[in-house]
């Protein structure tokens, strides 16, 4: 057991002063306000002067630490990715496999199963982004692997040893019956990489889809006569992932989404590639490569290819460039994705019963330390 005196900590969206946290086995066992009998420094295992916010939860992580999950769908890759993103405050993440063949999909599933069975503290499931997408809105996904959902893939997606499973699919290429079946078997369905008209998206929502992958990007746009997937996403009560990296979106597009959805329906994601936490500027990507110039990743033909964004950077971009408060940006990076993935009883906020996953921020919101399961790890 250990006790932490947090001088300034974000609890349920409100800054609280002088809170004493008792941590047992990596979980918050008690939170109480400092009393007169506890004023001596010796009464606490640790005293934290920095601001404390919940550890970040990222639902879309393609790579990190120099590795891409598609290229090496192994438990070792997951550990490398986790370590790379932990440096930037991400204490929970979902390894994301983009469009690929069935063998790679199955290998990724086994890797995540091993991570969960081994008790890896960062991994709560897996995100399959494709291959059931629209070729018209494929982005950097390979056309040759885009295909309808088959029984083989369904058997993998509905395994019970993968934690929470999220799938991004295009509703024009996946029937409502299939979406309904996935949802009934516990799969979280998000819509994206799609050129579907508004009405098709609406039907997919009625069938049980609850999310949208990287709002605005690789989806049918809003126009005066066809609101598209963007319009459906903004009008729905579904949760939207959004990439705030100065490359994927105009700041005013982010502001519009925030004013429309609010912090409880808009979650920050990185869509991170292998570059995060690595010195590499060029990485192999299937039969081509992705190059980092500044904070932008592209293939040789100029196609935007994921990001080199980390979650701390996403939070700070929201605060410094969009005008979102730190309290709200923190929710978008922790409580909102946690609730969307159905893991909010374990992670995503600072409360009794939650894992003791924190991010310490200095006075200028620079990342000072990261805690995971009650231990300082960065």
pLDDT of residue 41: 53
pLDDT of residue 44: 83
pLDDT of residue 45: 86
Cis ω before 308 (30° cut-off from 0): no
Q: What's the whole-number mean pLDDT along residues 144-170?
A: 98
The DSSP bridge pattern shows strands 367-372 and 375-376 to be antiparallel
Tell me the C-alpha to C-alpha distance, in Å, between residue 274 and each of 62, 138, 291.
7, 20, 11
Class of domain 54-341: alpha beta
pLDDT in tens, 43-89: 788 999 999 999 999 999 999 999 999 999 999 999 999 999 999 99
Which 8-state DSSP code applies to residue 55? Answer: P
For residue 40, pLDDT beyond 70 = no
pLDDT of residue 37: 60
Strand partners, 21: 4, 31
Q: What's the whole-number mean pLDDT along residues 222-239?
A: 99
pLDDT of residue 42: 56
Residues of the binding site for substrate = 140, 217-218, 225, 248, 304-306
Q: Where in the chain are the domains?
A: 2-53+353-376, 54-341
Exactly one of 100, 245, 271, 310 is catalytic; which is it? 271
CB half-sphere exposure, 307, CA atoms < 13 A: 23
Element (H, E) at 336: helix 335-341
pLDDT of residue 38: 61
Residues of the binding site = 129, 140, 193, 214, 217-218, 225, 248, 304-306
Task: Dig out the tokens for 224 from the structure.
Answer: 């005066």
Strand partners, 145: none
The DSSP bridge pattern shows strands 14-24 and 56-61 to be unpaired
Q: What's the whole-number mean pLDDT along residues 339-345?
A: 99
Beta-carbon count within 10 A of 252 CB: 9
The domain defined by 2-53+353-376 carries CATH number 3.40.50.10160 = no
Q: What's the whole-number mean pLDDT along residues 92-117?
A: 99
pLDDT of residue 10: 99
Sign of CA dihedral 358, 163, 94, 323: negative
pLDDT of residue 39: 58
Catalytic-residue membership of 271: yes
């Amino acid at each position: 057991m250990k006790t932490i005196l947090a001088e300034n900590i974000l609890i349920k969206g409100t800054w609280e002063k002088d809170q004493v946290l008792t941590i047992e086995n990596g979980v918050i066992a008690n939170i109480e306000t400092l009393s007169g009998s506890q004023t001596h420094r010796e009464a606490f295992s640790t005293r934290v002067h920095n601001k404390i916010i919940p550890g970040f939860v990222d639902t879309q992580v393609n790579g990190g630490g120099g590795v891409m999950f598609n290229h090496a769908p192994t438990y070792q890759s997951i550990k490398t990715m986790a370590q790379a993103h932990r440096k930037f405050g991400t204490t929970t993440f979902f390894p994301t496999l983009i469009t690929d063949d069935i063998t790679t999909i199955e290998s990724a599933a086994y890797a995540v199963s091993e991570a969960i069975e081994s008790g890896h503290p960062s991994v709560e499931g897996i995100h399959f982004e494709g291959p059931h997408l629209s070729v018209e809105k494929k982005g950097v996904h390979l056309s040759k692997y885009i295909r309808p959902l088959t029984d083989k893939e369904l058997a993998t997606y509905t395994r019970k040893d993968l934690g929470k499973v999220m799938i991004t699919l295009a509703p024009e290429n996946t029937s409502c019956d299939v979406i309904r079946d996935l949802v009934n078997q516990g799969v979280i369905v998000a819509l994206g990489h799609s050129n579907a008209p508004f009405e098709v998206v609406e039907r997919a929502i009625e069938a049980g889809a609850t999310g949208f992958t990287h709002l605005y990007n690789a989806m049918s746009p809003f126009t005066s006569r066809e609101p598209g997937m963007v319009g459906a996403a903004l009008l729905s009560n579904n949760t939207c992932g959004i990439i705030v990296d100065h490359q994927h979106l105009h700041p005013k597009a982010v502001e519009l989404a925030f004013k429309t959805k609010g912090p409880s329906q808009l979650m920050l994601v990185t869509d991170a590639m292998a570059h995060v936490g690595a010195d590499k500027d060029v990485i192999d990507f299937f039969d081509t490569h992705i190059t980092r110039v500044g904070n932008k990743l592209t293939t040789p033909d100029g196609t935007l290819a994921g990001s080199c964004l980390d979650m701390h950077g996403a939070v700070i971009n929201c605060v410094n460039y969009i005008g979102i408060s730190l309290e709200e940006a923190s929710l978008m990076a922790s409580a909102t994705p946690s609730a969307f993935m159905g893991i909010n009883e374990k992670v995503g906020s600072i409360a009794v019963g939650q894992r003791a996953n924190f991010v310490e921020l200095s006075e200028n919101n620079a990342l000072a330390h990261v805690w995971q399961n009650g231990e300082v790890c960065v």
